Amino acid sequence: MVALADCGGSAPATANHTYPATGLVLLSLTDGSRRATASIGTDPVAVIVSEDGGVAYVADSSPGDVYAVRLPDLRVAWKQHVGGAPFALLLHAGRLFVSLFSGGAVVELDPTTGARLASHPVPQGPAAMSVDAGGRIVVAGTRGLVNYLDGTSIRAGHGFGIAEVNGQVWTADYERAELVPAGDDHRVGLPLPVFPFWLAAGPGGTLLIAAEGAREDTDPGGVFSFDVATAKFTTLGLPRDPDQVLQAGSNVLVASHGDREVLAIGGGRTSAWAPGASAVAIAADPSLNLLVVAVNEHE
């Protein structure tokens, strides 16, 4: 079922709305006002948007499904069962890559039809994925390695997050509260005792970090910008259970699951978008001026 917001005007970002327990929410990238919602899946944990902005892909972990959802009408185009607790999604070279956290594999799907094209075995616990400076897909894991789809691997942090900045792949060591460049013994401790979960490339050679508190849903976590050239941190916010962070235009946006909102940080201000929405993952769609938010009350 899809509920479309009134097209006659923009609701204020602080308005109190009822959001689906699990599914997608569309917000304006300009001010966070709600555009549409849809109940999709039962355990969504990741979302990305196609390059042309016309489709959102959703990983539904517990059932082991992947959805393609047309934007902005939020109609399901296809659903593919992959099993193995899909964790992260990546679009690269015309294919949709899905890491299977409990399946020890990364599968390739046809983004248009959902057809399964290939499967690559990787060590147990594959998490987020990125593309390195050479154009190869690299997969984060919890065993102190990042893995390539050809079976090779290099040393890294024990964690879930990964991102490429200025030709260097950075990883997160979750339990040690550190950042670790892949293939390097160098480690960088976070400025607060919080645990890095998600990494993303930021502007100007920076790395964005979303880190959880000791008690995931109740303790303050941290959102940071790390300048890789100067090794200096800037603390952007202290939300509870920040699951994902990204840069969209002049704003840093955070899926703040513990606070049940999307945190928008920019222009010297911090705003709460979609208050009451159990945001777990976000993806920017500049072509439609939308932020696609995956919500999951059970995560």
Walk me through the domains of the chain, giving residue ranges and CATH numbers. Answer: 21-296 (2.130.10.10)
Give pLDDT tens digits for 2-41. 333 333 333 333 344 689 999 999 999 999 999 999 999 9
Q: Going by C-beta distance under 8 Å and a sequence separation of 6 or more, which residues neighbour residue 170?
A: 162, 163, 164, 179, 180, 181, 182, 199, 207, 228
Q: Which residues of the chain have pLDDT under 50?
A: 1-16
Burial of 11 (0-12, 13-18, 19+ CB in 10 A): middle
Question: How far is residue 260 CA from its own chain's centroid?
Answer: 16
Number of Cβ within a 10 Å radius of residue 237: 20
Catalogue the E-assigned strands of 34-174.
34-39, 44-49, 55-60, 65-70, 75-81, 86-92, 95-100, 105-109, 116-121, 129-131, 137-139, 145-148, 153-155, 162-165, 168-173
| pTM of the entire predicted model | 0.93
Residue 69's pLDDT is 98
Residue 216's pLDDT is 86
- In contact, 155 and 182? CB cutoff 8 Å: yes
Closest CA to 272 of 10, 15, 72: 15
Give pLDDT tens digits for 110-122. 999 999 999 999 9
Cα dihedral 271→276→282→287 (10° resolution): -70
- In contact, 199 and 209? CB cutoff 8 Å: yes
Q: DSSP 3-state assignment of 296?
A: strand
Helices (H), the chain: none
- In contact, 140 and 119? CB cutoff 8 Å: no
- In contact, 261 and 274? CB cutoff 8 Å: yes
